[in-house]
């Protein structure tokens, strides 16, 4: 089955389980397909909104006066022409850069950074604040992890805690707080600067700040030959 047929079947709600898996794989790995899919999805949404508004106006008009028999035909013709005109004027860039598009990109790319500070299999760390905080972190209890990381920083001045606090705020979708903390981490010249830029790119992506996202992705590509280098390039292509 070709890619266009997959998209058509998606909108017809007729994808088989196997076809849905193929669609999800293409969305993750094929940036051109991703853009085309979300372009069509957002166009469909825009047309649906336009149709609802005009149906509403049409029904309101019936209450005010009696239409002639050809009124419905005229209304439908006007709706089609107006839909095409509006979509042409607004342009594809609006749809591709929509909030939904960026939210989906964020969700696909966000994963927490592994614990490289306090390994959890060390007996001598069994009762440490650091181990407790990272247990919460790895169990996805992020608010408790944030409080734990703050205590570690207050006790040890370990500035790497800013990175994990920022990532934890991203995990609970408090993007503004995450970005502030991650920016603070950049000022420390810590060991994981490229990592901070990656997560700042995601934080800005979630806030629909496309230019800031691109800036941080470019820095990741420049600074890192390993961590998220390919992911940053792939994500940049989709923006």
pLDDT for 205 equals 95
Same-domain check for residues 63 and 163: no
pTM equals 0.61
Domain count, the chain: 2
pLDDT for 93 equals 45
pLDDT for 6 equals 82
Same-domain check for residues 53 and 124: no
Task: Give domain status of residue 182, yes or no.
Answer: yes
Overall residue count recorded for the chain in this entry: 239
- 38-85: per-residue pLDDT in tens? 767 766 665 555 555 655 565 566 555 555 544 444 455 555 555 555
Q: Residue 218 belongs to what domain range? A: 108-237
Task: Determine whether 224 is exposed, middle or buried from the number of CB atoms within 10 Å of its CB (0-12, 13-18, 19+).
Answer: middle
Same-domain check for residues 134 and 113: yes
Same-domain check for residues 181 and 228: yes
pLDDT for 5 equals 82
pLDDT < 70 positions in the chain: 1, 39, 42-99, 119-127
Helix or strand or coil: residue 170? helix
Own/partner pairs for 55-64, CB < 8 Å, 24+ apart?
none
| Distance set, CA 178 to CA 28, 67, 115 (Å) | 25, 57, 18
Task: Give domain status of residue 49, yes or no.
Answer: yes
pLDDT for 97 equals 45
Task: Give domain status of residue 101, yes or no.
Answer: no
What's the token pair of residue 99?
Answer: 């909030």
Task: Give domain status of residue 37, yes or no.
Answer: yes
Task: Give domain status of residue 148, yes or no.
Answer: yes
| CATH number reported for the structural domain that contains residue 166 in this entry | 1.25.40.10
Same-domain check for residues 114 and 33: no
Helix or strand or coil: residue 12? coil
pLDDT for 124 equals 45
Same-domain check for residues 82 and 127: no
pLDDT for 147 equals 93
Task: Give domain status of residue 103, yes or no.
Answer: no
pLDDT for 60 equals 60
Same-domain check for residues 156 and 87: no
Same-domain check for residues 74 and 124: no
Same-domain check for residues 92 and 130: no
Cβ(36)–Cβ(7) under 8 Å? yes
Same-domain check for residues 232 and 123: yes
């Amino acid at each position: 089955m070709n890619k266009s047929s997959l998209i058509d079947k998606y909108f017809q709600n007729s994808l088989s389980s196997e076809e849905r898996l193929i669609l999800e794989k293409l969305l993750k790995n094929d940036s051109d397909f991703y853009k085309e899919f979300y372009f069509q999805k957002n166009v469909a949404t825009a047309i649906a909104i336009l149709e609802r508004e005009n149906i509403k106006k049409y029904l309101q008009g019936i209450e005010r006066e009696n239409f002639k028999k050809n009124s419905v035909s005229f209304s439908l013709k006007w709706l089609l022409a107006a839909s095409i005109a509006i979509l042409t004027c607004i342009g594809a860039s609006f749809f591709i850069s929509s909030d939904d598009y960026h939210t989906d990109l964020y969700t696909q790319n966000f994963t927490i950074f592994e614990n490289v500070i306090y390994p959890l299999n060390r007996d001598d760390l069994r009762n440490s604040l650091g181990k407790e905080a990272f247990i919460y972190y790895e169990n996805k209890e992020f608010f408790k992890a944030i409080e734990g990381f703050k205590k570690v920083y207050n006790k040890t001045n370990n500035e790497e805690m800013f990175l994990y606090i920022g990532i934890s705020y991203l995990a609970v979708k408090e993007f503004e707080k995450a970005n502030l903390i991650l920016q603070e981490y950049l000022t420390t010249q810590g060991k994981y600067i490229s990592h901070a830029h990656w997560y700042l790119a995601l934080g800005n992506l979630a806030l629909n700040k496309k230019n800031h996202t691109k800036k941080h992705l470019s820095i990741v590509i420049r600074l890192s030959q390993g961590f998220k280098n390919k992911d940053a390039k792939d994500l940049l292509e989709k923006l």
